């Protein structure tokens, strides 16, 4: 009989104990949101703005490390034509652009 009493747990008027036991987990979730998720979402939005703002004449670096100058766009602006060297042009997907430097703003 004593074994059953231990399994049932404490008896009494502890109505708030359920919420109080969840409070540390909720705090951890809130901290994780502000330290990890929110900065990552902001970084993705900034990267998307940079990709959308690419214009003809910008110097860019692809995620593969290829440096080139934007010469134009194809496939409804989904593909970028990069001039890598004299008489060498390559087509690169717009999402493969890692960094861009706008020559027109200097």
71 part of a folded domain: yes
List the beta bridge partners of residue 62: 97
Q: Which helix (H) or strand (E) holds 12?
A: none
CATH of the domain at 61: 2.30.30.100
Tell me the per-residue pLDDT of 13-51, one tens digit each, with 9 for 90 and over: 555 578 788 899 999 999 999 999 999 999 999 999 999
- pLDDT at site 8: 54
Tell me the per-residue pLDDT of 69-90, one tens digit each, with 9 for 90 and over: 999 999 998 999 999 999 999 9
pTM of the model: 0.66
3 part of a folded domain: no
In three-state form (DSSP H/G/I as H, E/B as E, the rest C), the secondary structure along 18-84 is HHHHHHHHHHHHHHHHHHHHHHHHHHHHHHHHHHHCCCCCCEEEECCCCEEEEEEEECCCCEEEEEE
How many domains is the chain built from? 1
34 part of a folded domain: no
């Amino acid at each position: 009989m004593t074994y059953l009493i231990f399994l049932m747990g404490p008896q009494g008027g502890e109505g708030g104990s359920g919420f109080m036991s969840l409070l540390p987990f909720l705090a951890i979730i809130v901290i994780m949101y502000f330290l990890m998720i929110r900065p990552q979402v902001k970084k993705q939005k900034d990267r998307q703005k940079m990709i959308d703002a690419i214009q003809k004449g910008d110097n860019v670096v692809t995620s593969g490390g290829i440096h080139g100058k934007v010469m134009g766009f194809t496939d409804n602006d989904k593909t970028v034509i990069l001039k890598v060297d004299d008489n060498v042009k390559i087509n690169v997907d717009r999402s493969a652009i890692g960094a861009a430097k706008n020559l027109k703003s200097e």
